[in-house]
Amino acid sequence: MSEGRSPWARPAPGQAPAEIGLATPAVPEVLASPHAAPAPGSQPVPAPAPRLPGEPWVVTERHPADPDEAPSSKAWAVLTLGVVGVLLMFCGGGLVPGLAGLALVRPARTEIAAAAGFLTGGKALRAGEILSWIAVAVSAIVIVVVVIGLLIGSVGDGPHYDENVN
């Protein structure tokens, strides 16, 4: 295998597997047409279901080497951190989970895009990103208001005591 290539790389249309460093299969795969006669010793291929006019084509079979769809754990982590941040934002505690969620957004988005549709969670990722931004913004405002309030409360000419108090 060539350097820098993923072991799960797939050839682009018209590109041989050997060009991207994959081993060529010993027997070429041939997808049987539903209208072709079955090969001797194999099961007949069922006819496709009838389709109504205007109904979209739905592919019911997939290549056996394709992985199953799986949820992106990073996308769900971003959503979880965003929700925790929103729950804690009015006490200023939403800043840390919100920033952690925002730090995971880019790797999660890259991972989902690289999976070519086999990782799900794009909507959860977007919702978590929005919640994280809200948590960070509100928490920062709360922290600034509390600090300003403490500074204003501490400013003054001090306590006033009677003349006979040391």
pLDDT digits (tens, 9 = 90+) for 95-117: 999 999 999 999 999 999 988 88
What distance in Å separates the CA atoms of residue 34 and residue 75, rounded to the nearest whole number?
39
State yes or no: pLDDT of 33 exceeds 80.
no
34-62 as b/e: b if 16+ CB within 10 A: eeeeeeeeeeebeeeeeeeeeeeeeeeee
Q: Which candidate, 136, 133, 78, places its Cα nearest to that of 110?
A: 78
Residues with Cβ within 8 Å of 122's Cβ and at least 6 positions away in sequence, in order, are 75, 112
Quick one: pLDDT band at residue 27, thresholds 50, 70, 90? very low
Which pLDDT band, with edges at 50, 70 and 90, does 81 fall under?
very high
Average pLDDT over residues 18-41: 52
Choose the weakest-confidence range: 62-66, 117-121, 123-127, 143-147: 62-66
- Exposed, middle or buried, 101 (CB in 10 Å: 0-12/13-18/19+)? buried
- The pLDDT assigned to 49 comes to 62
> 158 or 145: which carries more pLDDT confidence?
145
pTM over 0.75: no
Residue 62 has pLDDT above 60, yes or no: yes
Please choose, from the candidates 149, 96, 104, 160, the residue with its C-alpha nearest in 3D space to the C-alpha of residue 129. 104
Cα(139)–Cα(100) distance, integer angstroms: 14
For position 56, what pLDDT does the model report?
A: 67
Per-residue pLDDT tens over the stretch 115-125: 888 899 999 99
- Please check the confidence at residue 46 and state whether its pLDDT lies above 70: no
Distance separating alpha carbons of residues 148 and 152, to the nearest angstrom: 6
